[in-house]
Amino acid sequence: MSELALQVENLVKVYEPRGLRLRGRMPVRAVDGLSFEVQRGQIFGLLGPNGAGKTTTLKVLNTLIRPTSGGASVLGYDVVAQPLDVRRNISVVIQESAAELFLSTLDNLLTFARFHSVPVAEARSRAEKVMDLFQLREDAARKVQDLSGGFRRRVQVAKVFMVDTPVVFMDEFSTGMDPILKRAVMSLLREEAARGRTFVLTTQILSEAEELCDDILIMNKGKQVARGDLHALKLLSENVYDVSLTFEKLPEDIEQLLAPLAPRRFSVSGNNVEFSVKADEARVLALVAELAKRERVLRVEVSGASLEDIFVELMK
Ligand SMILES: Nc1ncnc2c1ncn2[C@@H]1O[C@H](COP(=O)(O)OP(=O)(O)O)[C@@H](O)[C@H]1O
Ligand SMILES: [Mg+2]
């Protein structure tokens, strides 16, 4: 089996307008020459604003739609030539099918496990655990179509943990999850990735990717805008630092002291001051040292730009 989880080469997907009412509409180049590779055992994040082409990329990789040109493979299996081999090795969290909606929560979990050849007894015991984790026990016998949107999503995500497919795709996985469940799912993803499972997530929620993903591709209008781990991406947002200081006694002229660095953001609360500056690291540290000479500093935190800063910078 290939060491790579995914291999995407010059992928293009054009949606042609169809139907009489769409006559005169232009084709949409949803994915426009995307190339990337993902190693096994990674949590890979596909990031981008609405309409960037994230879901389309996922659908091609899941063999749900065919590429217009270029190619992609999952674990070395070509998505066009070997779709069944691809499907055997993946679980997908994307919108649900009619059949899934008609089944109960429990039957959704068991059917999914059966499809992936998990023995019946094993499937039953996994379903118990999974229903506990996702707080689905009360809804075990209810048809998924009768659940709220958030709970339907839970059933979808829960299925992933019924099986051991080496690659998992999740489109906006956290939609409709409360923060506690989201935490639990994130830590489960990390555990399973550590054991070699590969996760491919799309999200518009940057903090989620920042916390979870080892490897991030930012896309916009079907094209790659940036690629790398969080550290590499942070280098792209040239020298933006967030500083938070707690003084024993706040210097009265704090605002004037900071003025030479033209902080982008500045706020004071009690003896705590927070600001964000664009400067090289040495200059920021010199400033902190300078401030510490004025009044005793009890706490200092200097952090690099958030993924959000980078995103804003890149989308300009
Ligand atoms: N079935 C479709 N037919 C025509 N255009 C589509 C279809 N699905 C998506 N698109 C268009 O392709 C572009 C990318 O969509 P999508 O892949 O859903 O982006 P994302 O998931 O990043 O929001 C958008 O302009 C969208 O309107
Ligand atoms: Mg989408």
What is the domain extent for residue 252?
A: 238-315
Residue 285's CATH number: 3.30.70.1150
Tell me the CB-side half-sphere exposure of residue 8, using CA atoms within 13 A.
24
Q: Cα 193–88–160 angle (5° rounding)?
A: 45
Q: How many domains does the chain have?
A: 1
First to last CA, the chain: 41
Q: Is the CB of 28 under 6 A from ligand 1?
A: yes
| Residues whose CB is less than 8 angstroms from the CB of residue 224 and which lie 6 or more positions away in sequence, other chains included | 34, 35, 36, 217, 218
Establish whether residue 48 lines the binding site of ligand 1, counting it when its CB lies within 6 angstroms of any ligand atom: yes
Q: How far is the CA of 54 from the centre of ligand 2 (A)?
A: 5
Q: What is the pLDDT of residues 202-242, one digit of tens each?
A: 988 878 888 899 999 999 999 998 888 877 776 666 677 88
| 111, part of any domain | no
- Judged by average pLDDT, the poorest of 9-18, 38-47, 91-100 is 91-100
What mean pLDDT do residues 73-90 have?
Answer: 97
Question: Is residue 57 a part of any domain in this protein?
Answer: no
Q: How many CB atoms lie within 10 A of CB 192?
A: 18
- Which residues face 139 on adjacent strands? none
pLDDT in tens, 95-113: 766 778 899 999 999 999 9
Residue 117 token pair:
């050849």
How many whole angstroms from 209 Cα to the centroid of ligand 1?
21
* Nearest residue (CA) to ligand 1, atom 13: 30
Structure tokens, 221: 């209008």
pLDDT over threshold 70, residue 198 = yes
Residue of minimum CA distance from atom 25 in ligand 1: 51
- 263 in Cβ contact with 249 (< 8 Å): no
- What six digits make up the tokens of 114? 């059966």
Looking at residues 63-70, what average pLDDT do you find? 97
Element (H, E) at 286: helix 281-294
Taking only the tens place, the pLDDT of each residue in 235-287 is: 666 677 888 899 999 999 999 989 988 887 889 999 999 988 888 877 888 88
Q: Is residue 41 predicted with pLDDT exceeding 70?
A: yes
DSSP letter for 30, please.
E
- Do residues 156 and 105 lie in contact, with contact meaning Cβ atoms separated by under 8 Å? no
The answer to whether position 85 is within a domain reads no
CA distance 16 to 31: 13
b/e 119-156 (16+ beta carbons within 10 angstroms → b): eeeebeebbeebbeebebeebeeeebeebeeebbbbbb
Which of 74-83, 87-96, 130-139 has the lowest average pLDDT? 87-96
Residue type, 61: L
194 in any annotated domain: no
Residue 269 forms part of a structural domain: yes
Q: Is 50 in the pocket of ligand 1 (CB under 6 A)?
A: yes
* Ligand 1 atom nearest residue 202's Cα: 21
Cβ proximity of 48 and 223 under 8 Å: no
Contacts of 264 (CB under 8 A, 6+ apart): 240, 275, 276, 277, 278
Q: Which atom of ligand 1 is nearest to the CA of 222?
A: 14
Give a yes or no: residue 157 inside a domain. no
Helix (H) or strand (E) holding 170: strand 167-171
Structure tokens at 107: 């039957």
Is 272 domain-assigned? yes
Residue 253 lies in a domain: yes
Q: Tell me the β-bridge partners of 92.
A: 169
Among the residue ranges 25-29, 34-38, 137-141, the one predicted with the least confidence is 25-29
